[in-house]
A and B are shown apart, each in its own frame.
Chain A
Amino acid sequence: MHRYIVTRLLLAVPTLAGAAALVFVLMRLIPGDVCVIRLGSGGTHVNQAAVEACRLQLGLNEPLIVQFFQFLWSYCTFDFGISMWSGNPVSQEILIRLPVSLQIAVMASIIAVLIAIPLGTVSALRENTWLDHLVRLVAIAGIATPSFWLGIMSLVLVLDITYLATGKPWLPPIDYVSFWQDPLRNLSMVALPAITVGYRYSAVTMRMTRSAMLEVLREDYIRTARSKGLLEQIVVNRHALKNALLPVVTLVGIEFAFLIGGLVVTEQVFNLNGIGRLFVQAVQNQDNVLAQALVMLVVAIFVLTNLVVDVLYAWLDPRIRFS
């Protein structure tokens, strides 16, 4: 197992290098540069001398190949550079936002798993009954509804309900405080985004759980287990569900990794200063250094999540052994 993990980690190096080259080239294909945006986006006229001074300061006049090797070398030395927009270390920019994104991702994942696995299982066990149809309806609605729209609607609903109930509209806080600083304020801010994201996430997972369960429930060993006279609860929980969870775990892993950097619009709707919003800002501002670091972070998270998922496979299914 240890050897397998080390091999997988080593194999991640070319993946990361490929991603680095790709993001470096793609960012530079966008016309314009950070200096012009920074000095002119207010609508005022851009001062050419200031633009040149800015470009010089940020090393944008260096040949691209030099910039690329500087970028690679900095990653080899774990120096992720300085944000071209704010002048702060990239690691600092990311670390400020990471707790918000992580909290939402963890909460949404918990919500999703808590909803999806029981409902998906029940849906499979009661195939083609009214209960199954209801669960499938909820799941399809969840997949079809963008979470940002759900977010906006949930905020409007909260405003209107509180207005009708108390005569004064109420809105969750719009400035983030950490859970450790003020748990109540923190939860009142992140609960709605976690629920809206968790719902979509649970819908996808629910569908996967249902189909995986249906497949497993038709296996010979399940029939054998039932014919042995085992309790249905044991058949489902111990024999069916554990095996059906393999694809579900993969999905949960991929979704979790996506949530770290992918909640672009949801973060904006709820005014959350997370990684997704930072990503959009970096691309909009053509802050190449920051955008590159964020892509590398997301790639690294995906690589690690996939590794964790693969390791979980072995625990869930003893037939799988890594060498």
Chain B
Amino acid sequence: MSVRTGVWAAAVALAVMTTTAALAEGPPKRGGTLTYLIPADAPPSFDGHRETTFATVHAAAPFYSVLIRVPPDNPASTTEFVCDLCTEMPKPTDDGKTYTFKIRDGVKFHDGSRLTAFDVADSWNRIVFPPKGTVSARVSYYAMVDKIEAPDERTVVFHLKRATTAFLPALADPFTWIYKKEILAKDPHWYEKNIMGSGPFKFASYQVGQSIKGVRNPDYYHKGQPYLDAIEGIFAAKQSVRVDALRADRAAIEFRGLPPSARDELVKEAGNTIAVQDSDWNCGNIITFNHKKKPFDDVRVRRALQLAVDQWKGAPALAKIATVRTVGGIVFPGSPLAATKEELQQMAGYWPDIEKSRAEARRLLKEAGAEGLKFELTNRNVDQPYKYVGTWLIGEWKKIGVSAEQKVVPTGPWFQAMRGGTFDVVVEANCQSVVNPVLDTGKYLPHTVYPENFGGYDDPKSIELYEKMQVETDPKAQRAAMRAYEKHTLDTAAHAIVTPYWYRIVLARSYVKGWKISPSHYLNQDLANIWLDK
């Protein structure tokens, strides 16, 4: 079976499963209040354009609309995008450089005013070209955008500098909420502390670090939705609080994800009153070597450390205790651009014969004069899965005689160590929302091109391979170009080790229906399609 056929078969199977599940759930019931947990203290602000934390999305996404999004009924799809505020997904014109969106008629903001294309264009201009004095966290996602305009109140046009497959996934980013132009004109910071959108729920109240409440928007433009009368998000940073709250039905669902131990505990204690949804997560830990420190400037040493790790045995073992599961390359495993198992097994670090792999690792270390290598592995002071992954790697490296000491530091010093280049080897995080392989894999480019690469290396070949892949619009050719870039990154130059992708386990009371898990905790959070079966 070819890769493409395999992907289609998986997509069809998923669609069948989704439909079957939907039929099994029966017709949605109306009413009730959904109480859900937000595993954070409090969002820094409510401005989605500015923030990057899920705490902002989980708290405020139900109050906003976006232009396009992943399909709420099939958010696991990595290639499908549907309209939210637009009327239909456009076909690009001008050799793939112009996208014209028609905006729905009759959409109202929660203050009763009409939402027009001018609001959409203004919000998008703020995201892509933030005015002085404002912060937009995702400017770099939209480097391909040349101009955004609204020629009339029903039309928004995006002009791109070049055709790229990265544009539509970037446009479906879940933080790109549509704000009211008039409000932004008066105060560009208004949305940091206030909420006023056009989403399925109207903002009701917020108690800092405690709870946020919303009520049904009767004027919502997706007819029939939302099903709930009200929502209440409770901020609960501590895992034990969330698990206890789910067990005692103080809350019905936690959308970010809990570790396997919590799942096992809850399922054991609450039985079929708890429903589990799980998915591969578009997040992972990347092991970055500091090329500016010896001996990590030597590709033989980096390759040896890559070869020492038994991903195929490690992943299922780790999955029992940590939020990781699937072995993957630089592209999220669910994407058509991702490597198959056979393709991965051609690269260093993924060989099926681990003994052969480790023998080669020892040989390389000896050749590089780095036998008995000792170094510090800088890690973030976060349990799941950072510390588990770090501890596992240390054990793997020990098997080729390498001794690594794990230095666990809080988030601030962790960032500082990476940005200041003071680490030997670091456990990094790479967590994205919409699966967008072209943008997501930019992470492996040298610092000169991608400032958030902390490896400290120059590599013109890497840039050349990425550029070739990036501009390719034919799926087959792009896939081949991605393989070449991946092979170079992980095998030839061994710039980084990609550890097993994170695994998202969402636990809910079994009466929560309609919501489907996606590969990201940022996605599908407007809660419009949730209903309560009680």
The residues of A with any CB-CB pair to B shorter than 8 Å are 30-33, 36-50, 53-54, 57, 85-88, 93, 96-97, 152, 155-156, 159, 168-171, 173-176, 268-271, 273, 277-278, 281, 284-286
B234 contact set on A, CB distance < 8 A: 174-175, 271
Q: Are A41 and B134 in contact (CB under 8 A)?
A: no
A48 contact set on B, CB distance < 8 A: 451-452
Bits for B233-249, please: 1 = Cβ < 8 Å to A, else 0: 01111101100110111
The segment out of B1-9, B161-169, B406-414, B492-500 that lies at the interface is B406-414
Interface status of B193 (Cβ within 8 A of chain A)? yes
Nearest B residue to A151 via CB reads B240
Interface status of B404 (Cβ within 8 A of chain A)? no
B450 contact set on A, CB distance < 8 A: 45
From residue 202 to 216 of chain B, which have CB atoms closer than 8 A to chain A? 207-211
Q: Please give the distance in Å from B136's CB to the nearest CB on chain A.
A: 6
Q: Please give the distance in Å from B176's CB to the nearest CB on chain A.
A: 14
The segment out of B26-34, B46-54, B457-465 that lies at the interface is B46-54
28 examples of A-B residue contacts, CB within 8 angstroms: A30-B410, A31-B412, A31-B417, A32-B412, A37-B412, A40-B52, A43-B283, A43-B429, A45-B140, A46-B415, A47-B139, A53-B135, A87-B193, A88-B193, A96-B207, A156-B244, A159-B248, A170-B248, A171-B247, A174-B234, A174-B241, A174-B245, A174-B250, A175-B211, A268-B238, A271-B241, A277-B237, A281-B41
Q: How far is the CA of A37 from the CA of B409 in the complex (A)?
A: 13
Interface status of B430 (Cβ within 8 A of chain A)? yes
Q: Are A171 and B250 in contact (CB under 8 A)?
A: yes
Knowing A86-B44, A281-B41, A284-B410, the reply to whether A171 touches B248 (Cβ < 8 A) is yes
Q: Are A96 and B208 in contact (CB under 8 A)?
A: yes
Q: How far is the CA of A38 from the CA of B50 in the complex (A)?
A: 10
Q: Are B136 and A86 in contact (CB under 8 A)?
A: no
Known: A37-B415, A87-B193. 5 other contacts (CB 8 A): A44-B137, A45-B450, A50-B135, A50-B137, A273-B235
Q: Are A31 and B207 in contact (CB under 8 A)?
A: no
Q: How far is the CA of A171 from the CA of B248 in the complex (A)?
A: 6
Identify which of A40, A175, A277 contacts B207 (C-beta below 8 A).
A175
B139 contact set on A, CB distance < 8 A: 47, 49-50
Across the A-B interface, give the 3 residue pairs with the lowest CB-CB distance, nearest first. A43-B431, A32-B412, A31-B416
Q: How far is the CA of A285 from the CA of B236 in the complex (A)?
A: 17
Nearest A residue to B521 via CB reads A42
Identify which of B138, B251, B411 contacts A174 (C-beta below 8 A).
B251
Q: Are A39 and B413 in contact (CB under 8 A)?
A: no
Bits for B120-160, please: 1 = Cβ < 8 Å to A, else 0: 00000000001001111111100000000000000000000
Knowing A30-B412, A33-B412, A50-B137, the reply to whether A42 touches B248 (Cβ < 8 A) is no
Q: Please give the distance in Å from B322's CB to the nearest CB on chain A.
A: 16
The residues of B with any CB-CB pair to A shorter than 8 Å are 41-42, 44-45, 51-54, 130, 133-140, 189, 192-193, 207-211, 232, 234-238, 240-241, 244-245, 247-251, 269, 283, 410-417, 419-420, 429-433, 443, 450-452
B412 contact set on A, CB distance < 8 A: 30-33, 36-37, 284, 286
B433 contact set on A, CB distance < 8 A: 44
Identify which of B54, B238, B413, B414 contacts A271 (C-beta below 8 A).
B238
Q: Please give the distance in Å from B55's CB to the nearest CB on chain A.
A: 9
Q: How far is the CA of A28 from the CA of B408 in the complex (A)?
A: 20
B410 contact set on A, CB distance < 8 A: 30, 284
Nearest B residue to A49 via CB reads B139
Q: Please give the distance in Å from B522's CB to the nearest CB on chain A.
A: 8
Identify which of A36, A43, A155 contacts B244 (C-beta below 8 A).
A155
Q: Are B133 and A57 in contact (CB under 8 A)?
A: yes
Q: Are B248 and A152 in contact (CB under 8 A)?
A: no
Q: Please give the distance in Å from B244's CB to the nearest CB on chain A.
A: 5
Q: Are A38 and B238 in contact (CB under 8 A)?
A: no
Q: How far is the CA of A39 from the CA of B135 in the complex (A)?
A: 10
Q: How far is the CA of A168 from the CA of B429 in the complex (A)?
A: 40
Q: How far is the CA of A44 from the CA of B173 in the complex (A)?
A: 12
A30 contact set on B, CB distance < 8 A: 410, 412-413
Knowing A49-B139, A50-B135, A173-B250, the reply to whether A43 touches B420 (Cβ < 8 A) is no
A45 contact set on B, CB distance < 8 A: 140, 430, 443, 450, 452
Q: Are A273 and B432 in contact (CB under 8 A)?
A: no
Nearest B residue to A286 via CB reads B412
A85 contact set on B, CB distance < 8 A: 44
Q: Are B192 and A46 in contact (CB under 8 A)?
A: no
Q: Please give the distance in Å from B410's CB to the nearest CB on chain A.
A: 6
Q: Please give the distance in Å from B357's CB to the nearest CB on chain A.
A: 29
Nearest A residue to B429 via CB reads A43
Nearest B residue to A41 via CB reads B411
Identify which of A31, A49, A156, A269 contacts B241 (C-beta below 8 A).
A269
A33 contact set on B, CB distance < 8 A: 412
Q: How far is the CA of A44 from the CA of B250 in the complex (A)?
A: 31
Q: How far is the CA of A159 from the CA of B245 in the complex (A)?
A: 10
Q: Please give the distance in Å from B445's CB to the nearest CB on chain A.
A: 11
Q: How far is the CA of A88 from the CA of B245 in the complex (A)?
A: 29
Nearest B residue to A273 via CB reads B209
Q: Please give the distance in Å from A97's CB to the nearest CB on chain B.
A: 8
Q: Are A277 and B53 in contact (CB under 8 A)?
A: no
Q: How far is the CA of A30 from the CA of B416 in the complex (A)?
A: 9
A268 contact set on B, CB distance < 8 A: 237-238, 241
A40 contact set on B, CB distance < 8 A: 52, 415
A86 contact set on B, CB distance < 8 A: 42, 44-45, 208
Identify which of B53, B135, B411 contacts A284 (C-beta below 8 A).
B411
B417 contact set on A, CB distance < 8 A: 31
Q: How far is the CA of A276 from the CA of B55 in the complex (A)?
A: 20
Q: Please give the distance in Å from B41's CB to the nearest CB on chain A.
A: 5
Q: Please give the distance in Å from B37's CB to the nearest CB on chain A.
A: 8
Q: How far is the CA of A234 from the CA of B140 in the complex (A)?
A: 79
Q: How far is the CA of A247 from the CA of B207 in the complex (A)?
A: 40
Q: Are A46 and B452 in contact (CB under 8 A)?
A: yes
Nearest B residue to A178 via CB reads B207
B269 contact set on A, CB distance < 8 A: 169
Q: Are B247 and A273 in contact (CB under 8 A)?
A: no
Nearest B residue to A176 via CB reads B210
Nearest A residue to B502 via CB reads A43
Nearest A residue to B432 via CB reads A44
Q: How far is the CA of A171 from the CA of B41 in the complex (A)?
A: 20
B248 contact set on A, CB distance < 8 A: 159, 169-171
Q: Are A42 and B238 in contact (CB under 8 A)?
A: no
Nearest A residue to B453 via CB reads A45
Q: Please give the distance in Å from B248's CB to the nearest CB on chain A.
A: 4
A173 contact set on B, CB distance < 8 A: 250
Q: How far is the CA of A32 from the CA of B422 in the complex (A)?
A: 12
Q: Please give the distance in Å from B278's CB to the nearest CB on chain A.
A: 19
B140 contact set on A, CB distance < 8 A: 45, 47
Nearest A residue to B238 via CB reads A268
Identify which of B134, B244, B250, B420 contacts A31 (C-beta below 8 A).
B420
Q: Please give the distance in Å from A197's CB to the nearest CB on chain B.
A: 16
Q: Please give the distance in Å from B206's CB to the nearest CB on chain A.
A: 11
Q: How far is the CA of A195 from the CA of B237 in the complex (A)?
A: 22
Q: Please give the distance in Å from B388's CB to the nearest CB on chain A.
A: 16
Q: Please give the distance in Å from B439's CB to the nearest CB on chain A.
A: 9
